[in-house]
């Protein structure tokens, strides 16, 4: 099987996603790894800016990437960008290839993990909050999303754009102080609902339980390969 990755949102996150897949694959030689084609399409406009009504429509470039990957013979496609899943229904219209849904895979993983009260604290872009893709998907799985205030959503966006420019000067103390304002119950997990935040939690290793959708999606990509052996 050949995996296609619709990347470039952002490039560092795409690179980390590829790295996760390699690390999660039980391989003793090159030939046992996944055959992967990556389209790191940096022409895709900012997804959050469009959702908030102040940017270009990213769908045309995303569709171009999907069509390109299909023409190159991929069997399934993964998109390591949470906010991009707002356009999921638009993308699947243009390909016969399966596009994995990272939000659904994350919700399914949380359910299987049997979280006690079903509450999850979402850290994401303003676009992802506005789109309600996590809220609606998690609700369909019997789960509930907790959000920060509008002011703090902008703080998270500042973190995200800093990470996109390779600035990781965000301390574990700063991160945990932020989260503790909203969830006192240590049993409520965090959802790192932006691939730049996936990079951040991977570095910080917070004490609280968290789910990384990018890791969950990477695991699913590897599982699909194993199922066809």
Q: How far apart are the first and last CA of the chain?
A: 10
Known catalytic residue at 194: yes
The sign of the dihedral angle between the CA atoms of 187, 192, 198, 203 is negative
Closest-CA residue to 43 (of 25, 30, 27, 60): 60
Pull the structure tokens for residue 37.
């084609």
- Cis, peptide link before residue 160, omega less than 30° from 0: no
42 close to 15: Cβ distance less than 8 angstroms: no
Active site residue 120: no
| Peptide bond preceding 10 in cis form (omega within 30 of 0) | yes
Tell which residue, 82, 76, 119, has the closest CA to residue 209: 119
Residue with tokens 């991977």: 202
Tokens 């699913």 locate to 220
What are the residue numbers of the active site? 81, 194
């Amino acid at each position: 099987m050949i995996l296609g990755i619709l990347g470039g949102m952002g490039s560092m996150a795409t690179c980390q996603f590829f790295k996760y897949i390699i690390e999660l694959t039980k391989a003793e030689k090159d030939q046992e790894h996944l055959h992967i084609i990556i389209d790191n399409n940096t022409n895709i406009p900012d997804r959050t800016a469009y959702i908030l009504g102040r940017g270009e429509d990213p769908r045309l470039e995303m569709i171009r990437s999907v069509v390109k990957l299909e023409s190159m013979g991929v069997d399934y496609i993964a998109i390591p960008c949470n906010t991009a899943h707002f356009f999921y229904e638009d993308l699947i219209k243009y390909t016969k290839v399966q596009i994995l849904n990272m939000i659904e895979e994350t919700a399914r993983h949380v359910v299987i993990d049997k979280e006690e009260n079903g509450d999850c604290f979402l850290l994401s872009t303003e676009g992802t909050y506005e789109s309600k893709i996590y809220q609606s998907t998690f609700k369909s799985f019997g789960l509930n999303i907790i959000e920060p205030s509008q002011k703090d959503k902008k703080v998270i966006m500042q973190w995200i754009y800093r990470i996109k420019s390779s600035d990781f000067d965000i301390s574990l103390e700063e991160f945990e102080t932020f989260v503790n304002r909203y969830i006192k119950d240590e049993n409520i997990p965090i959802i790192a609902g932006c691939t730049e935040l996936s990079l951040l939690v991977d570095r910080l290793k917070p004490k609280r339980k968290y789910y990384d959708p990018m890791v969950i999606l990477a695991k699913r990509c590897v599982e699909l390969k194993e199922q066809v052996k």
